[in-house]
Amino acid sequence: MSSSTAALPLMLKQLRLASIKENWQSMAAKAVKQQWSPQQYLHELCLIELNSREDKRLKRYLHESALPAGKRLNDYDFTAVKGVKPAQINTLINERQWVNRGYNVMLFGASGVGKTHLASALGYALIEHGVRVKFMPATLLVQQLQKAKAELHLNEALNKLDRYAVLIVDDIGYVRKSEQESSVLFELIAHRYERGSLIITSNQSFEDWDQLFDDTVMTVAAIDRLVHNATIIHCEGDSYRRKTALKQIQN
C-alpha cells in the first residue's frame, strides 16, 4: 500500500463506508485489469456500499417486524380459501399507494382460515419493498397501550408506533370489552387515521364489534375510520389447523 493510500482505510472507517473499506482494494485491482475509468471505479464502489446498506436496512426491518416465521405468500393456499384472490393481494403488494395514504386492510374470517398467514405474508412482501412493518397480537398491543396510558405516556407510545408505515394488529376480536381496553384501542385507530396503515385480522364481523368497544358511538366511530378507503377481505373456508391435525392423524 502506497503512502498516499495508507490512511484510506481509516478515513473510510470514519466516514462509515464499511463496504467500500472492505472492497476498495479488490475493486481497484479489477479496475486496473479491466481498464475502468476513475468514474466507473467510483460508481462500482458506491453501488456496493448502497446495496450493502439496503440489505442491512431490510434485515433490520425484518428483525424488528416480529412477523411469525414461515408465513410467506408462496406458502399460502389460495385454493383452500374463498374470498381471497391472488391478483388482489399482488395489487396490494405492488401498488403501494394505500400505504402512502394511510389506508387499511381488513381481513375477516373464522378461526383457522389463514387470516394471520395472509396478513404476515403481506408484511413480509412489503418489507421487501422497503416498507417498515410491525406485527403485534391485538391483546399484547392493547396491554402495552394500557400500561403507557396508566403511566401518562400514551401519546408517546402512539407516536413511537408511527415509525411503522404498516401496523399489523392480529386477532382484534380477542380484545376484552372493558372501558380501559376500548379506550386505548379507539385512540390507536383514531391516531393512525390517514397517517399510518393498519392491517387488522378479526374473527368477528363489524356487526359484532359492539363486543369490542364500550359503547355504540365509539364502535361506529372506530369502524368509520377503519373502513374509509380500506380493502376489506372476507376469508371463507375450512380451518387450516383442523386440516393439518386430520392429516397427522391419518398418517
Measured distance CA(236)–CA(107) in Å, rounded: 11
C-alpha grid cell for residue 195? Answer: 397517517
What is the mean predicted confidence (pLDDT) over 100-123? 95
Measured distance CA(189)–CA(197) in Å, rounded: 10
Mean pLDDT of the chain: 90
What is the mean predicted confidence (pLDDT) over 80-87? 91
111 DSSP 8-state letter: T
Q: Which one is the CATH code of 66-250: 3.40.190.10, 3.40.640.10, 3.40.50.300, 3.60.40.10?
A: 3.40.50.300
Whether residue 86 has pLDDT greater than 70: yes
Q: 80: Cβ–Cβ under 8 A, 6 or more apart, which residues?
A: 114, 237, 238, 240, 243
CA dist 116 to 109, 122, 135, 221, Å? 10, 10, 10, 25
- For 170-190, what is each residue's pLDDT tens digit? 999 888 767 777 889 999 999
Count CB atoms within 10 A of the CB of residue 1.
9
Give burial (CB, 10 Å; 0-12/13-18/19+) of 210: middle
Which pLDDT belongs to residue 210? 84
CA triple 248-173-130, angle to 5 deg: 80
The residues spanned by each domain of the chain are 8-64, 66-250
Whether residue 196 has pLDDT greater than 70: yes
